[in-house]
Amino acid sequence: MDVVSPELNSLLPDEIMDTEAIEDVPHSQTDVATVKEEPSDDTSVPMETDTPVAAESLSLCSDAAVTEPSQVVTTSTGTDSTLCISSESQIPFSISSSSSPLLTLKPAMATSTATTKTTDSVTGTTVSTSGLQKLTAPFTISPANHQIILNKVATEAAKSGTPPQVIKQEGQKLLVTTIGKSGQPIVLQLPHTGGKPGVSQASGDVKPQTPQFKVVTIDGRSELKPVVGSASNQVTTLQAQQLKAVQIAKKTPVSSAAPIKFIITKTVNSKGRVLTQNSPVMPQRTITLSEPHSMSIQSIPGKKIAISPLKSPSKVTVVSVASPTSNTSQKSVALPVNVALGQQILAVQQSTSASPVKVATSQTTTQNIKPVQSVAVGGVSGSQFKTIIPLATQPNVQQIQVPGSRFHYVRLVTATTASSTGQPSGPSTSSIQTAKPMVVSTGAVRMSVPIVPAQTIKQVAPKPLTSAAQVVTTTQTQQRLIMPATPLPQIQPNFTNLPPGTVLAPAPGAGNVGYAVVPAQYVTQLQQSPFVTLASSSSFPAPTGIQTQARLPLNGLTTAETTSRPRKPCNCTKSQCLKLYCDCFANGEFCNNCNCNNCFNNLEHETERQKAIKTCLDRNPEAFKPKIGKGKEGESDRRHSKGCNCKRSGCLKNYCECYEAKIMCSSICKCIGCKNFEESPERKTLMHLADAAEVRVQQQTAAKTKLSSQISDLLMRTAPVISSGGGRLPYTFVTKEVLEATCECLLEQAKKAEHTHQPQAEAERMILEEFGHCLMRIISSAGKAKADCASINC
DNA sequence: GAGTTTGAAACT
DNA sequence: CAGTTTCAAACTC
């Protein structure tokens, strides 16, 4: 199933793949219907799974070379639906369905991007999270109403009753089986809630056969697991779907130097808490899945499977790792199918690696809500995502925003082969919905990304796609949309639907494949346009489970810094802000509140701007890519892509781009007299000074805040008491003269303390005490005056 | 705030 | 690709 060709993905800026998980992952092709493993030496995060072409069979390939445990739960209940849940050190899940549900959950990796994504390919509903550690909201998959709700895992049943590798269906619909490592079965189950026919059902894809699960273990043993028929008479897509086969095959890694890192390493008890951690490299994390109903459990002990990274989105990639571990605990995930009219919104958030990640699921109530999809890719910092974007029924646009990157990537997905869709060729959307940009407040940053309407997408790609449009949002304020447009001839007729700032440029060595570079700030400007942001949309409640974002380093800056820090205004005078000299332009942004002269970096000069962008890309196809990328293996995770060329600054001033990015110079730098290396005493001195200065600033700020709070508190407590009349005193009573007199009293008290050589604390106490006395006198006088006034009035 | 320094970007 | 120029940010006073 080729949603996006590997070639195209390889052309994506590295920031998309700039995760430890997916970097350096060679592309390998396998049969479309086969889940394959992508060998990687640094693969730590499963990035994406796609629906198998026919979804008739699903293969889970185990890498014999993988030594670390991982988990994958895979279930397919339909002819063209696939549910994959994989787990690495955390618990990645992937559930995909070409015709209906596509769900992918992937937890963040401690070392790099971790993504949890839930996608409904039909509705375009996608939920993903970086660093999933704790799921606080139920997780329900509904092919009919496009709802996915994460439920808390109830592993008690898994522990006690069902033996591993047993698939059973209790209740109406059981979709998900688990292939967890021994003792940690992942349970995906469907609730008794009935389901309504989904989109795929409307398209005539209903096949009410009894689902069967064929589980092939790593050792070649296979089982065909018939699923108990649904107790409900309602025909749902899930019920109609039938899993043909689940295969788990061993696979020798292509490269011995490509160990799979994203592996489940945690043992989860019945409450979803991590009991043990099997992987020394992975920090312990907690995953909690709220679990309203626990019905059926399936687990395959000894199997540890991880989903391959996004590098090969065209394939469902699952890595199975043998893991003869003990049955100490179980990990289960309940996946009840919930039927509702509303579309699904799922907000997942990752906290720091040291704290449990919480996943909040926000589900729209019912009506008038378009399908939305939110996909987040966690960066090395483990930043979060919270973006909900409406999707067309047949989405073929993927937006990816990578934390740490200033870019938003929009992948225009086109179906190249009929088999890739998993559905009959040709447009099969039962309904077309015009996507509207929606924005969910992400704390410091909000983003609104208009998505090409579904009609337009269909023109670009007449064949429906199995992967839903995805929007990956980070908390970066500086954003850019880069749309890998492939193939260009197909996209070309729809350029009118792209933002005016979009510039299509060929990717290096990509032939007719290129990028559409769209300044993300265009979105900001468009927020004043007819596009409606989610925040302003009354019909689309914002997720409530969004948590405070993690504060992990990101390009030298914490997430909070990158999100809250306003962009510096440029001061360009001669470049018209259309050259890379201009930071705004270089960041793909429009100038806004800048001090530039003769600025052309705005919507009013789109023609010139597009031309300039194209010029820059012609000169350097990677001109708009972040300069700070991932270093080679064994080196620092971040390094300058080109290296600096400093000659006089010693690379210890902000002239140096490496130093400015708070990274050390690397071997590719051509600097002279570099002092920006690990053991440099000058660098250490600077670091210490900077740290000390920062501490001082923080202390001063804290002191000011405390004093202000004390004064405010004193005012609040004394005013009502002394106001003899019971009412509030007039503020105008504190005149300038009164203030001056008060200050004199305070100064006198300070002098007194100084003369008596009082310690600072005592001096502060004396001053505050005097200030309190002054206030008392002021308030007393005011109260007296008020009383006098009242008596006069009487 | 003005002037200087610096190195990336742009140009040749 | 190397050398030069341009440019705007960083830095100093």
pLDDT over 60 at A587, yes or no: yes
C1’ C10 / CA A689, Å = 18
Alpha carbon of residue A399 to chain centroid? 11
**pLDDT at A628 (0 to 100):** 80
A702: three-class secondary structure by DSSP: helix
Give the pairing of strands A389-390 and A212-216: unpaired
> In the predicted model, what is the mean pLDDT of residues A181-199?
39
Contact flag, residue A580 CB and nucleic strand B, below 7 A: yes
Query: Mean pLDDT for chain A?
Result: 50
**pLDDT at A761 (0 to 100):** 87
Confirm if A244 and A76 have CB atoms less than 8 A apart: yes
Q: Which residues touch strand C (CB under 7 A)?
A: A 568, 570-575, 577, 579, 581-583, 653-655, 660
Dist CA A308 CA A70 (whole Å) = 11
> In the predicted model, what is the mean pLDDT of residues A222-243?
39
**Residues A616-625 pLDDT 10s:** 999 898 889 8
When pLDDT is cut at 50, 70 and 90, the band that residue A609 belongs to is very high
pLDDT over 70 at A87, yes or no: no
Q: Which residue ranges make up each domain of chain A? A: 716-793
When pLDDT is cut at 50, 70 and 90, the band that residue A576 belongs to is very high
Question: Which has more confidence, A752 or A629?
Answer: A752
Q: Which nucleotide is nearest to A656 (CA to C1')?
A: B7
Confirm if A259 and A69 have CB atoms less than 8 A apart: no
Confirm if A475 and A562 have CB atoms less than 8 A apart: yes
A794: three-class secondary structure by DSSP: coil
Q: Among the ranges A51-65, A167-181, A441-455, A615-629, which has the highest mean pLDDT value? A: A615-629
Q: Which residue is nearest to nucleotide C7 (CA to C1')?
A: A581
**pLDDT at A732 (0 to 100):** 61
Among the listed residues A395, A347, A351, the one whose alpha carbon sits nearest the alpha carbon of residue A128: A347
**Residues A101-159 pLDDT 10s:** 333 333 333 333 333 333 343 343 333 333 333 333 333 343 334 333 333 333 333 44
**pLDDT at A739 (0 to 100):** 82
pLDDT over 90 at A655, yes or no: yes
C1’ B4 / CA A663, Å = 26
Tokens of A54: 């026919």
Secondary structure (H, E, C), A346-398: CEECCCCCCCCCCEECCECCCCCCCCEECECCCCCCCCCCCCCEECCCCCCEE
Q: Which nucleotide is nearest to A671 (CA to C1')?
A: B7
**Residues A329-386 pLDDT 10s:** 343 333 333 333 333 333 333 333 333 333 333 333 334 434 433 333 333 333 333 3
Confirm if A123 and A114 have CB atoms less than 8 A apart: no
C1’ C13 / CA A650, Å = 21
Q: Give the DSSP letter of residue A98.
A: S
- Rounded to 5 degrees, φ, ψ at A615 are -60, -45
C1’ C1 / CA A414, Å = 39
Contact flag, residue A413 CB and nucleic strand B, below 7 A: no
Q: Which nucleotide is nearest to A620 (CA to C1')?
A: B9
- In percent, the amount of chain A with pLDDT more than 90 equals 7
C1’ B8 / CA A644, Å = 9
> In the predicted model, what is the mean pLDDT of residues A425-447?
37
**pLDDT at A160 (0 to 100):** 42
Contact flag, residue A576 CB and nucleic strand B, below 7 A: no
Dist CA A612 CA A626 (whole Å) = 18
Q: Which nucleotide is nearest to A619 (CA to C1')?
A: B10
pLDDT over 90 at A395, yes or no: no
C1’ B11 / CA A511, Å = 27
| Torsion over CA: A515, A518, A523, A524 (sign) | positive
* Protein-proximal nucleotides of chain C (any atom < 7 Å from a CB): 6-11
* Protein-proximal nucleotides of chain B (any atom < 7 Å from a CB): 5-11
Alpha-carbon torsion, ordered A631, A635, A638, A642, to 10 deg: -50
Confirm if A293 and A151 have CB atoms less than 8 A apart: yes
Q: Which nucleotide is nearest to A597 (CA to C1')?
A: C8
Q: Where are the alpha helices (DSSP H) in A572-680?
A: 583-586, 606-619, 657-660
Residue type, A543: P
C1’ C7 / CA A584, Å = 14
**pLDDT at A422 (0 to 100):** 39
Taking the stretch 590-649 of protein chain A, residues with Cβ within 7 Å of any atom in nucleic acid chain B are 615-616, 619-620, 623, 627, 642, 644-649
> In the predicted model, what is the mean pLDDT of residues A459-465?
37
Which DSSP string do the residues of A39-69 spell out, in sequence order? --SSB---------SS-SEEEEEEETT--S-
Q: Which nucleotide is nearest to A649 (CA to C1')?
A: B6
Q: A313 Cβ partners below 8 Å, 6+ apart?
A: A3, A4, A6, A9, A47, A48, A50, A467
Dist CA A138 CA A190 (whole Å) = 11
Q: Which residue has the tokens 């108990």?
A: A228
pLDDT over 70 at A728, yes or no: no
Give the pairing of strands A266-268 and A71-78: unpaired
C1’ C1 / CA A618, Å = 18
Q: A267 Cβ partners below 8 Å, 6+ apart?
A: A183, A184, A274, A275, A276, A277, A278, A328, A329, A331
When pLDDT is cut at 50, 70 and 90, the band that residue A585 belongs to is very high
Q: Give the DSSP letter of residue A717.
A: H
**pLDDT at A705 (0 to 100):** 83
Confirm if A33 and A53 have CB atoms less than 8 A apart: yes
Among the listed residues A319, A261, A260, the one whose alpha carbon sits nearest the alpha carbon of residue A110: A261
C1’ C2 / CA A657, Å = 22
- In percent, the amount of chain A with pLDDT more than 70 equals 24
CA angle, A337 then A224 then A203, to 5°? 45
Contact flag, residue A656 CB and nucleic strand B, below 7 A: yes
A86: three-class secondary structure by DSSP: strand
**pLDDT at A636 (0 to 100):** 53
**Residues A746-788 pLDDT 10s:** 888 888 888 888 888 888 888 888 888 888 888 888 777 766 6
Dist CA A171 CA A645 (whole Å) = 66
**Interaxial angle between packed helices A681-722 and A760-793, expressed in degrees from 0 to 180 and rounded to the nearest 10:** 30
C1’ C8 / CA A451, Å = 35
C1’ B4 / CA A690, Å = 24
**pLDDT at A613 (0 to 100):** 92
Tokens of A192: 């008794």
C1’ B1 / CA A564, Å = 28
